[in-house]
Amino acid sequence: MRIGITCYPTYGGSGIVATELGLELAARGHDVHFITYANPIRLGGPSERIHYHEVEVSSYPLFQYPPYCLALASRMAEVAERYDLHLLHVHYAIPHSISALLAQQIMAARRRLPFITTLHGTDITLVGAEPSYFPITKFSIEQSDGVTAISEYLSVRTREVFGITRPLRVIRDFVNCRIYRPAALPPPEMRLLHISNFRPVKRVLDCVRILERVRRQVPAELWMAGDGPERGPAESLARELGVAGHVMFLGKQDHIERLLPQARVLLMPSELEAFGLAALEAMACGVPPVATNCGGVGELITHGVDGFLEPVGDIEAQARRVIDLLSDESGYRVMSHAARYTAETRFDTSHVIPEYEAFYEEIRTG
């Protein structure tokens, strides 16, 4: 198939999933055309089946805000016609699904151009729920030829928030277990790792507080990968709690698969996660996650088997789980192996990508 993919080409989960999906589809023989304003961060080097089409937005004094949605729609239609795309797959509802709808209407006189919208979380729980975006988000979901959600939680939440009655296909996030794999031996350092966009919903400060409590019993250190508005407050809190010398802020990282095997435990103390891609990638590397029991995380982690789930904001409980993992080598190995097993048997690309292929065929011929 010839597939157009549009996403936010940044460090957020939706862009990562969309890019990895495109790479996997190309590896399976499909032609993939990324249509967005910048090269997706995980796209990597050139490939004969991967194509990138930049969306350029002209600056004009009349426009207070550049009309990206319209420029994107025009580019989608142009690429679809030039390369005879079979369908468009847009990630994150706003504004991508509306642009796809416009592109579909531009092409309507010549041929059918179906599009699929994948919901990733904050496009429903935060952005889409805002009063100013609510009607257009609901409309975009209802007008899509197909809709997928990355967790059962998000599917249910979408129906509750927007009163959606149409079918929503749950296709969960995935990981390439050939790329994300454990180190030969666990790292000798008692290293904790957090990966996020450092937004308030990720509760970055909780990671620093957890480290401070863990260090009362275990000489642990914390690596913080990513960047965003909570980085400054996290650095200040680390100094305030006397652990600044044991926290390393790494900034944005392109090769998470190289970073994860250097950690013992992943911290994911989020207020809300639609699924928890960082935890899945850690599990594929044999790194058990200590996470919060929120959103769709329980669809990924089985508490006490391949990771731990504790209440949001319960620093003491999360710290105890970390201490247990760092203090019991045999128990750690069991959970590490279980985490890898979950990733391999339930969420590897070999299981999930065929679900997308089948859905594409269904929407394309429907």
Q: What is the mean pLDDT of residues 252-263?
A: 94
Average pLDDT over residues 72-89: 97
Q: What is the mean pLDDT of residues 193-197?
A: 96
Tell me the pLDDT tens digit for each residue of 303-328.
999 999 999 999 999 999 999 999 99
Residue 128 has pLDDT above 60, yes or no: no
The C-alpha atoms of residue 306 and residue 284 are separated, in whole angstroms, by 11
Please tell me the predicted confidence (pLDDT) of residue 122: 76
- pLDDT of 132-180, one tens digit each? 888 999 999 999 999 999 999 999 999 999 999 999 999 999 999 999 9
pLDDT tens digits for 347-356?
Answer: 999 999 999 9
**SS3 assignment, position 4:** strand
CA distances from 191 to 17, 36, 89, 245 (A): 26, 37, 38, 13
Residue 60 has pLDDT above 80, yes or no: no
CB environment 81-98: b (16+ within 10 A), e (fewer): eeeebbbbbbbbbbbbbb
Q: Mind spelling out the 3-state secondary structure of 66-84?
A: CCHHHHHHHHHHHHHHHHC
Instruction: Say yes or no to pLDDT of 36 above 90.
Output: yes
On the question of pLDDT at 11 being above 70, the answer is no
What whole-number distance in Å separates Cα of residue 101 and Cα of residue 94?
Answer: 12
**In what order do the strands lie in the sheet containing 146-149?**
50-54, 31-36, 2-6, 87-91, 115-119, 146-149, 169-170
Please, what are the domains in the chain?
Answer: 2-174+348-365 (3.40.50.2000), 191-347 (3.40.50.2000)
pLDDT of residue 175: 97
Average the pLDDT over 77-105 and give the result: 96
Output the pTM of the full model: 0.93
Task: Specify the pLDDT at position 61.
Answer: 72
Average pLDDT over residues 24-34: 96
Question: Residue 127: its pLDDT value, please?
Answer: 64
pLDDT at 286 over 90: yes
